[in-house]
């Protein structure tokens, strides 16, 4: 058979999210208050998040029940399909078996609605009247806009200015869902005005947009903030990906030796990998768990494991993570969703423990792999997802060279239908590899906050 698709019925949408905190060999370092340097408590986070999400953020329970209204909405695109990439295997002539879990079937076209829906649900239940957020390439903004439309919650999205100008269709999608989209840095916030005063031509960054969205939420008791990656509760909501994949790999009569996800803030990677990693920790089969990042924004492979701010304006708590420094400006690569200076603290902790292997690739080799994939499997991947594909292809070719036949599973985090301009540039030979600037990195790292606890 040429294509094989493993589908679960609706009744097999997970009833609980999986929380890896319950299975860690060692607890992660605490989150610190930027003023006092002391660990933050739930009350410190209350201006930004509803209590239900704060409790999930600090929970050590292995399973947290998915509210029934959230499961009902998940049914629109979950369980998502798992495919055996037979035609890709053939195109590569590999002895490896390749499977992918496809998250591009959600309304917004990526894994992000897996968390935007529960986040909007808990905010609505807590009586919140408005949500603010930031978005880079626009996937998170459109996913939260969709969730806002579902629950009747207004959403203000601060969109990195360069993307606002270059990706008008993602903006149009957010507006179609009813969200308000503002180019960041903007004149609406202190954080935005400060940046614009220093540099009127600033094209923005995720770190700046986060500052703007956090500032707006912090000053209005009826407004809260939603983050699309990085935080523990976000990673946990994404565990539906891996929980379903475990059941689907069983249906396929197979078991992955290598599990791969691309990593910007780390949420789709955690989603596919943590349920498998939990099995590793609980004494199950040992698998290789791979997180893939762009060489132009090499947080895990070149960053420092240190306390840092999540944003440029330094409004967020301090978290210990692999970071390039909150002032680092990654080159303008097309995988906008992977251009974040930090990495989820939970992913960083697991990297420190040696439980996961990081890899970094340049964007042209990722686009090459994406095109090979599209021609074999028919799905045009998001530029972010192409990093996972590149890694899967590299592992499959290595297996062929070594005469081995591992089973590879990767997360195809989204489709690239809103990124076709990037493909056009690639075919025109206009895409260049943008290596990170070592001097700029050294400078950003020298500006990391000094933390007594270290
Ligand atoms: C946002 C996004 C990513 C990166 O975010 P993570 O939190 O690291 O998953 C990857 N792929 C797609 C398609 C995205 O939209």
Which of 197, 132, 202 shows the shortest CA–CA distance to 165?
202
Q: Is 237 in the pocket of ligand 1 (CB under 6 A)?
A: no
Q: Is 266 in the pocket of ligand 1 (CB under 6 A)?
A: yes
How far, in Å, is the centroid of ligand 1 from the Cα of 338?
Answer: 7
Name the residue with the closest Cα to ligand 1, atom 13: 414
Pick the atom of ligand 1 nearest to 136's CA.
Answer: 1
Element (DSSP H or E) covering residue 408: strand 407-412
Residue 451 has what pLDDT? 81
Cα 204 to Cα 337: distance, rounded to the nearest angstrom: 14
Q: Does the pLDDT at position 328 exceed 90?
A: no
Give the rounded percent of residues in the chain with a pLDDT score beyond 90. 87
Q: Does the pLDDT at position 4 exceed 80?
A: no
Q: Does the pLDDT at position 402 exceed 60?
A: yes
pLDDT digits (tens, 9 = 90+) for 73-84: 999 999 999 999
Q: At what angle do helices 345-352 and 267-281 cross, to 10 degrees?
A: 40
Burial (CB < 10 A; 0-12, 13-18, 19+), residue 311, is buried
Residues 429-441, mean pLDDT to the nearest whole number: 90
| Residues 111, 268 contacting (CB under 8 angstroms) | yes
How far, in Å, is the centroid of ligand 1 from the Cα of 283?
Answer: 30
| Residues 181, 150 contacting (CB under 8 angstroms) | no
Is the alpha carbon torsion for 183, 188, 192, 198 positive or negative?
A: positive
Residue 131 has what pLDDT? 98
Structure tokens at 383: 């530029």
pLDDT digits (tens, 9 = 90+) for 232-249: 999 999 999 999 999 999
Which of 144, 66, 159, 161 shows the shortest CA–CA distance to 108?
144
Residues 28-37, mean pLDDT to the nearest whole number: 92
Residue 333 has what pLDDT? 79
| Residues 271, 234 contacting (CB under 8 angstroms) | no
Nearest 5°: the CA angle 63, 68, 71 is: 80
Q: Give one word for 230, left, alpha or beta, with left for phi > 0 and alpha for psi -120 to 50.
A: left
C-alpha 200, offset from chain centre: 30
Residue 312 has what pLDDT? 86
| Residues 312, 326 contacting (CB under 8 angstroms) | yes
How far, in Å, is the centroid of ligand 1 from the Cα of 264?
Answer: 6
Residue 313 has what pLDDT? 86
Residue 384 has what pLDDT? 96
Mutation pick for ligand 1 pocket among 384, 386, 415, 422 (CB with most ligand atoms within 8 Å): 384
Q: Is 110 in the pocket of ligand 1 (CB under 6 A)?
A: yes
Residues 113-127, mean pLDDT to the nearest whole number: 98
Residues 100-121, mean pLDDT to the nearest whole number: 98
C-beta neighbour count of 250 within 10 angstroms: 11
How far, in Å, is the centroid of ligand 1 from the Cα of 299?
Answer: 15
Residue 452 has what pLDDT? 58
Which of 200, 181, 384, 217 shows the shortest CA–CA distance to 311?
217
Pick the atom of ligand 1 nearest to 415's CA.
Answer: 13
Structure tokens at 275: 């349920």
Residue 391 has what pLDDT? 98
Q: Does the pLDDT at position 33 exceed 80?
A: yes
Q: Give one word for 434, left, alpha or beta, with left for phi > 0 and alpha for psi -120 to 50.
A: beta
Q: Does the pLDDT at position 1 exceed 80?
A: no
Is the alpha carbon torsion for 150, 151, 156, 162 positive or negative?
A: negative
Residue 329 has what pLDDT? 81
Name the residue with the closest Cα to ligand 1, atom 7: 267
Is the alpha carbon torsion for 418, 422, 427, 433 positive or negative?
A: negative
SS3 9: coil
Name the residue with the closest Cα to ligand 1, atom 14: 337
| Residues 227, 355 contacting (CB under 8 angstroms) | no
Q: Is 337 in the pocket of ligand 1 (CB under 6 A)?
A: yes
In this prediction, residue 2 has a pLDDT band, given cuts at 50, 70 and 90, of low
Task: Map 336-351 to HEC letters.
Answer: HHHCCCCCCHHHHHHH
Q: Is 139 in the pocket of ligand 1 (CB under 6 A)?
A: yes
Ranking 124-133, 177-186, 281-290, 331-340 by mean pLDDT, the lowest is: 331-340
Residue 135 has what pLDDT? 96
How far, in Å, is the centroid of ligand 1 from the Cα of 336?
Answer: 9
SS3 327: coil
Residues 301-306, mean pLDDT to the nearest whole number: 96
Residues 47-53, mean pLDDT to the nearest whole number: 96
How far, in Å, is the centroid of ligand 1 from the Cα of 402?
Answer: 32
Residue 409 has what pLDDT? 98
Of these ranges, 2-6, 317-321, 447-451, the one predicted with the greatest mean pLDDT is 317-321
Q: Is 268 in the pocket of ligand 1 (CB under 6 A)?
A: yes
Rounded to two decimals, the pTM is 0.97
Query: What is the number of H-type helices and E-type strands within the chain?
Result: 19, 15
How far, in Å, is the centroid of ligand 1 from the Cα of 384?
Answer: 6
Q: Does the pLDDT at position 49 exceed 60?
A: yes
Residue 434 has what pLDDT? 82
Which of 114, 94, 97 shows the shortest CA–CA distance to 105?
114
Residue 100 has what pLDDT? 98
C-beta neighbour count of 2 within 10 angstroms: 7
Name the residue with the closest Cα to ligand 1, atom 1: 337
SS3 171: helix
Q: What does each C-alpha distance from 199 to 150, 168, 195, 339 come to in angstroms? A: 38, 23, 6, 20
Residues in the chain: 454
Q: Is 385 in the pocket of ligand 1 (CB under 6 A)?
A: yes
Bridge partners for 309 per DSSP: 318
The hierarchical CATH code for the domain 68-109+233-446 is: 3.40.50.1100
Q: Does the pLDDT at position 187 exceed 70?
A: yes
Residue 450 has what pLDDT? 86
How far, in Å, is the centroid of ligand 1 from the Cα of 454?
Answer: 30
Name the residue with the closest Cα to ligand 1, atom 15: 139
**Torsions phi, psi for 361 (to 5 deg):** -135, 155
């Amino acid at each position: 058979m040429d294509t094989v698709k493993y589908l679960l019925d609706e009744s097999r949408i997970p009833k609980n999210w999986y929380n890896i905190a319950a299975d860690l060999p060692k607890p992660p370092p605490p989150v610190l208050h930027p003023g006092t340097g002391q660990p933050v408590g739930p009350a410190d986070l209350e201006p930004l998040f509803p209590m239900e999400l704060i409790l999930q953020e600090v929970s050590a329970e292995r399973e947290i029940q998915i509210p029934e209204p959230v499961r009902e909405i998940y049914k629109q695109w979950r369980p998502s399909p798992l495919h055996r990439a037979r035609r890709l295997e053939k195109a590569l002539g590999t002895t490896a078996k390749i499977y992918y879990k496809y998250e591009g079937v959600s309304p917004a076209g990526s894994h992000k609605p897996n968390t935007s829906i529960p986040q909007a649900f808990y905010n609505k239940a807590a009586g919140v009247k408005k949500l603010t957020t930031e978005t880079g390439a626009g996937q998170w903004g459109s996913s939260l806009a969709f969730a806002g439309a579902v629950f009747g919650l207004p959403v203000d999205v601060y969109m990195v200015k360069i993307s606002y100008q270059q990706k008008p269709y993602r903006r149009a999608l957010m507006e179609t869902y009813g969200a308000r989209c503002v180019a960041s840095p903007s004149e609406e916030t202190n954080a935005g005005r400060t940046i614009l005063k220093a540099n009127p031509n600033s094209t923005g960054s995720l770190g700046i947009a986060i500052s703007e969205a956090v500032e707006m939420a912090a000053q209005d008791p009826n407004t809260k903030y939603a983050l699309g990656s990085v935080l523990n509760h976000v990673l946990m909501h994404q565990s539906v990906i891996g929980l379903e994949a475990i059941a689907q790999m069983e249906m396929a009569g197979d078991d992955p030796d290598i599990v791969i996800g691309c990593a910007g803030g780390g949420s789709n990677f955690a989603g596919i990998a943590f349920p498998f990693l939990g099995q590793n920790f609980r004494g199950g089969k040992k698998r290789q768990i791979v997180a893939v990042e762009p060489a132009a924004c090499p947080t895990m492979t070149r960053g420092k494991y240190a306390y840092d701010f999540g944003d440029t304006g330094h409004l967020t708590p301090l978290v210990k993570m692999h970071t390039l420094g909150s002032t680092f400006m990654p080159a303008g690569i097309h995988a906008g969703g992977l251009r974040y200076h930090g990495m989820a603290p939970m992913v960083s902790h697991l990297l420190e423990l040696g439980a996961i292997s990081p890899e970094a690739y340049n964007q042209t080799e990722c686009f090459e792999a994406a095109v090979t994939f599209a021609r074999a499997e028919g799905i045009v991947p998001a530029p972010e997802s192409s990093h996972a594909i590149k890694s899967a292809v590299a592992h499959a070719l290595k297996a062929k060279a070594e005469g081995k036949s591992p089973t590879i599973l990767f997360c195809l985090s989204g489709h690239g239908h809103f990124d076709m301009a990037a493909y056009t540039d690639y075919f025109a030979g206009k895409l260049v590899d943008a290596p990170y600037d070592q001097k700029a990195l050294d400078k950003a790292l020298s500006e990391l906050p000094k933390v007594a606890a270290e």
